[in-house]
Structures are given as C-alpha cells and as structure tokens.
Structure 1
Amino acid sequence: MFLLGLFVLVPIVLSFASVVSHIVFHYSSLGYVTNGEAAITEIIAFGVFWALNRFYLKTRVSWWAKIDRNWLWGLALLIVLVGDATLNPQFTLTVGAIVWALVLGVVVAIFEEYVFRGLLVTTLRAHFGMSEFWTALWSGIVFGLAHTVNVLQSGNLLDTIAQIMQAVGLGFFLAALYLISNNLWLPIIGHAIIDSFDQLAFGTLSNAAGTSLLTGIIYAIVFLGLGVLIIKTHADLPKATPHQHVTQRSREKMDFNRKTNESASMKMAFYAILIPIAELIFGTLLSIPFHSKLVKVIIVDVVFFLGFLAAIWLFKDVLKRDWQTFKLHFWRGFFLDIGAVVITYLLLPAVRMGLNLFIHTSSAAGGLDVLSVQTAGLALVASLTTLMAPFTEEIVFRHAWFYQWRNRGIVTWLMLILSSILFGLFHWNNFNGDVTQMIPYMVVGAWFGLIYYWSKNIWQNILTHFLFDFLQVLAALFVLVMTLLHAAG
C-alpha cells in the first residue's frame, strides 16, 4: 500500500501545484511566458515532497557522492535521443526555446528523480529491506504507472501505453544508476537531457508527440536489460536490512501482532451510540424553526462539533495511547491510508453495481442537487461536518462497537457486522431513509473495521476515513475558488 499511496499522492500534489501555478499566472503579468506555468508547477510539487521528507519522512536522500566511472553507464541514455530522433522531430532552435527546454527538462527531472529514485528507492531499501533488483523494479513500475494520467491529456491510449513501458524501463535503469552511484544527480542529469531534447524536438513533454509503441517496447527491453546488468556487475552493493534506519523502540511500536488486555465496556458502547443518535435528532429538530439555509447548516455543524467533542472526551485515553504509537511511523501509515482510500473508492461502486443485479437502487437522494442550488460558500460550510465525522464515527462504530470486543470468537465478528450496519444506518439523512443506498456504506464500515482489526490502532482508521471524506471538502473548496475566479473575471 506504500507504493499505491505514492502512486496516488503524486498526481494529487501535481494537481494542487497546477492549480496554484495557474492562479499565480492568471492574476499576474506572467501569462505570456511560454511554459512558465508548467515549470512553476514542477517546482511547487518538488517543494511539497521536499517539505514532506524534511519534516516528516526524514528519508536520507543521497544527492552527492563520488561516482568514479559509474557515470559512463549514463551514456546509454543516448539510445533514447537516437530513437526519438526517428519520430519526425520538429526542432525549434531559438534561444528562448533552448532556454525553456533546459529549464523544463531540469525541473521535471529534479522532481521526478527526487520522488521515484531518491525517496522511493531509499525507502524500499531502508524500511522494507528489498533487494537491489526488486527496489529498482518497483521504482520503474510506479514511475511508469504515474504516467497513466497522461491519457487524459493526449486521449491516445496506445501512446500512453508506449510511454508507460518506456518509463518502466528507464525508471528501472535510473534506479540502478542511483543504487550503484549513491548520487541522485546522475539520474537527474540523464533524465534532464532526455526531457530537454524532447521539448526541443516536439515542443511538449506529453505523449501527444515523440512517442511510438515500437520505441516504447525497445526502450523497455533495452533499459531493463541494462539495469539488470548494472546490478549484477555491482554485487558489492551494501545489503539492505529491514528497518535499518528505524530504532528498536520504533520496531516494537510497529508490531501489528501485539496483544492487548483492554476489556470491553457495554456502558461505554451505550454512551458512544448516543452521540450519533443525538446528532441526527437534534441536528434536524433544532434547524426546523429557521428558514435560512446558512443558519440550518451552522446549527448542524455546531451539533456535530459537540458530538465530536463528546466522543473525544469519552475515549481520550484510547486516542492518546494509540497516538503515541502511530506518530512514530506517521507517514508510513499515511501512505497505507492512501491505498486504503483507493480501495474504498473502488469498493463503493463495486457494491452498488452488485446490488443493481438483484434490486433497483436509485441515485443518492439529491446530494448533487443540493450542491447545485447552494452557494459555493454554503457548500463549504456544510462540508465541515465531514472533517469531524472521521473522529466521531471511528470512535463510536469501530472502537466502541467493534474493536473493544475483539478476541471473543464469534462475538467479535457479530459485532463487526452490527457496527457496520449501524454505520450505514447513520447515513440515513444522506439518502432520505433509503436503506438500499446505505448498504454500500455498511460494506465500507466492515472494511474500515478490518483495517482497525489488522492495524490495532484507531488513528490508522481515523486518517483513512479523514482522507476519504476530505475529498468532499476539497470539492467544495474547489467550487468556491472557481466561483470567485469567475466572479472576478
């Protein structure tokens, strides 16, 4: 899930960087600068990952090291220049074009090599103890798959497949270079030369030009072979040990097989279930006398906030205890949670399609219609409940009504089923009481329960749920920003 999490995080960060860059260029006098927006996007994205590593991941990326004659392997990248030169290039050799080609080539190379070689390769070696071959292979695969989003830009599936194959081969080769040289600048320079050449030759770094299925296959085969040769001829590479940069205390904290002696409390479960019931009842009743949509939304937000505080207070000991464990490997858990969110978003439509085979289910009860008639600001205020729900719902439905009943045989799994059903029913207002539409959320509740059961840490669940719900807040924020931009324009 770490690999999947990184695969998902890269396009999210790039999308964020692209929006910021677009806003900057839209409101400044820089709009005429060709390719400037793309360059700033890559710089912002690099800054995000650098800050992520600097303050949290703390992965030791090796930028400088004596490379001796290992740099000669990089000459093999000339194969790409020769191959791309056969794809009908249209060189633009003005001073401006050359400068921008170099700038784009360098910033793209720094960002991608830092993420896919610097962070990914180092993490796979240091924390997962992978061999040189598997480390380089996973680096190439994730790097290749990260290019799948380019199909949205070019609309050409075959060219995208060709680019993915090329990226897998080159990613494997560049990872091998990084492993033998311990110098990130070696793959950066090679990568930058290729991208600068393609920018000059085709005027773009997308797969809309300068890509063919034949060259993609050739590059994949050649550079996979060269990468294997590099690894085989450098058998003296230091062997990786799982968690070699993790302290003994951290290893103990990350033991998912640890036993707990916490007893179940029916009283606490009863108190906990009162929270969502009160939210549903009082959130509805207290807003009835008011006609203003904004007032109604604020009342619901306040009611959910009080429920959030009550849940935190009732189970503060559990939250504090598990946080001491979770914070020691926060970003590993974060990447795992991104993978879990992806599975959740695949699970929801799969369950809905399965239900449609047996029963007719209508669409969500006016969810999109509500957003269409509300102002963007009102939608953003209404979405604030989704920031509190992960805490309240995971405490109530996953901890109080499932996890505290673990190690009790059949009772454990009966409580998983019961808590999942209750979780689905809690979304009553979302679907105007249509129980059939709540079934997918019951399945998601069971999935979240299994995450808690396997991880033994409630923060793993809270963060998964938070990331899942946070997309709604981002959507509301995006609508608000676009509305403001439209009004300003």
Structure 2
Amino acid sequence: MRVSPRPWIGIAVWVGYVVIVTVVGALSGVGYNNIGDSAETLFRSAGLFLGIGAVYLVIVTTILGWWRPALFERARSRHRWPIVAPAIMALSVAIALPAVDWSRIDGGYLAGLLTLGILVGFNEELVTRGLLLTGLRAEFREVWVWLTTSALFGLMHATNIISGAPVAQTLQQVVLAFLGGTAFYITRRVTGSLIWAMALHGLWDFTTFATGHGTVGPSFGLFLGVGGEVLALVVVWWTFANAERRTVATEAQ
C-alpha cells in the first residue's frame, strides 16, 4: 500500500464522497421522491452523482493503494452460518423480482435501474465497508469497525433530507440502512470478499426501485428482506470470532 491506513483517512474519504453525491444530487434539480419517476430522472440524478462518486472513489483508492484490503479479507470469519441473514435478503430479492409488472418498465428505465444498482453497490460498499473499514482496522477492534461502518452507512442516507425527503421517512431509512449495512458487513466477513456485498447491495436497490415503479402495493419479498436485516444485528457478533486486530496495519509493514 502506498499510504499506511489510518482511521482519519477512511473518515475523510467517506466525508468527501458524501459531500460530492449530496452537492451533485442537489444541483441535478431532481427531488429525492422523484428520482425513480422516469429513466430521465434516474440518469439526471442518481446516474450523475453516482457516476461522479465512482470516479472519485476509483482515483482515491488507486492513490492510496488500498484496493486489496478494501476488497478482500485477510482472514474470514471462523463462523460461516451468520451468512443466513444476508441470504434471506437475497431470497427476498428472488421473491420480489418476479412480482414486478415488467410491462411498466421500458428499456430506458431498465437501463437506468441497472446503472443505479451497479453504481450503488460499488460506491457505497467501497466507501464504507471498503475504504472506511480499511482505515479503521488500523487502530480499532473489529466490533468498533462494524459499528462505525454501519452507523456511517446509515448516517449518509440522512442527506436525503436536503433533496426533499420527509424527515420521518429519512430517519426510518437511516435505521434500515444501519441494519442492511450490518448484513453487508457479514457478507464480507463470511465470504472473504467485498464483491459479494456489492452484488447483494446493488440487487437490493435495483429491486427496491423496480418494485416501486412496476408493482401495485408493497412487495412481500422486501418485507422478508427487512427481517433478514434485523436478524443480521443478532448474528453479527459471531463474525467477530477470529477477526484479526489491526489486520491492515500488519499488511502495510
């Protein structure tokens, strides 16, 4: 690694990303509740700020030389069974997607959904459970790494208020994002790779927007997924077993 990991570096990268997506999102002129209205709003808002955010993260990760520790675990969790929580989320996606009325989703909107899913999964996982996690592991125990990355992942969604999201709805989203972040953390710890967390995260957001645009009424599948997120909070403790302390600092030597 070109730069030795430090907590302040991971936090600074996170702050930089949040500022970029918040400012670009505000400048797009598309309110939060209107992002999924059409293919045009998807690309003009989410596609734009997520695209710029992705470029920022690729440049920063390359300069720091943190690609490997950001994407891969040096030592996986000794307990593998906690993967059941994110597996329930994956199952919920499999249930929800067939229920979507795909006749309501044209080619342009589908392209927007795919772009959003890929960029959300890549960006938000890399910045929190990738770069932020790498920085924090240099000095903190794994339980604090999980708690901080999940809390800041939830907190970054609070900026939706700036784009017009209702406060009560946003607070609920922050809590659910914390729980979802825990499930994505478990995915990384158990599989040994952030790539699987990126895939699950991207599929989850893709499905959320697809069901919101192409179904009438709430989707049972996504309700099941929320159950998986809650379960993640219960089982995450077992993933700390065999978690190496200050792993990244050791790798940098």
- The TM-score normalised by the length of structure 2 is 0.70
1:172 aligns with 2:182: yes
Equivalent residues of 2:89, 2:224 under 8 A apart:
no
Matches within 5 A, 1:377-416: none
Q: Post-superposition shift, 1:117?
A: 1.0
Equivalent residues of 1:116, 1:139 under 8 A apart:
yes
Q: SS state of the match for residue 141, structure 2?
A: coil
CA RMSD of aligned residues (A): 3.9
CA distance in 2, matches of 1:10, 1:183: 22
Matches within 5 A, 1:36-435: 36-37=43-44, 38-55=46-63, 57-59=64-66, 60-63=68-71, 73=84, 74-78=86-90, 81=93, 92-125=104-137, 127-131=138-142, 133-203=143-213, 221-229=230-238, 231=239, 235-240=241-246, 243-247=249-253
Q: Post-superposition shift, 1:49?
A: 1.9
CA 1:34 to 1:221, structure 2 compared with 1: closer, same or farther past 3 Å? closer
Q: SS state of the match for residue 250, structure 2?
A: coil
Q: Which residue of 2 aligns with 1:14?
A: 21
CA 1:80 to 1:5, structure 2 compared with 1: closer, same or farther past 3 Å? farther
The superposition leaves residues 285-336 of structure 1 with CA deviations (integer Å, 9 ceiling, x where unpaired) of: xxxxxxxxxxxxxxxxxxxxxxxxxxxxxxxxxxxxxxxxxxxxxxxxxxxx
Equivalent residues of 1:136, 1:176 under 8 A apart:
no
CA 1:166 to 1:70, structure 2 compared with 1: closer, same or farther past 3 Å? same
Letter in 2 for 1:190: L
Runs (5+) with no aligned partner, structure 2: 1-6, 30-38
Q: Post-superposition shift, 1:222?
A: 2.3
Letter in 1 for 2:117: G
Q: Post-superposition shift, 1:152?
A: 2.4
Equivalent residues of 1:173, 1:226 under 8 A apart:
no
Letter in 1 for 2:114: L
CA distance in 2, matches of 1:141, 1:64: 21
CA 1:20 to 1:145, structure 2 compared with 1: closer, same or farther past 3 Å? closer
CA distance in 1, matches of 2:20, 2:13: 10
Q: SS state of the match for residue 35, structure 1?
A: helix
Q: Post-superposition shift, 1:102?
A: 1.8
Q: Post-superposition shift, 1:237?
A: 3.8
Runs (5+) with no aligned partner, structure 1: 23-31, 248-489
CA distance in 2, matches of 1:81, 1:242: 33
CA 1:189 to 1:145, structure 2 compared with 1: closer, same or farther past 3 Å? same
Equivalent residues of 1:17, 1:42 under 8 A apart:
no
Letter in 2 for 1:118: G
CA distance in 2, matches of 1:116, 1:96: 30
Letter in 2 for 1:186: W
Equivalent residues of 2:133, 2:145 under 8 A apart:
yes
Equivalent residues of 2:129, 2:185 under 8 A apart:
yes
Report which of the two structures shows the higher radius of gyration computed on alpha carbons: 1
CA distance in 1, matches of 2:114, 2:242: 35
Q: SS state of the match for residue 236, structure 1?
A: coil
Q: Post-superposition shift, 1:63?
A: 3.7
CA 1:241 to 1:8, structure 2 compared with 1: closer, same or farther past 3 Å? closer
The superposition leaves residues 194-238 of structure 1 with CA deviations (integer Å, 9 ceiling, x where unpaired) of: 11111111249xxxx99xxx9998565322123234x05xx3344
Identity over aligned pairs, percent: 19
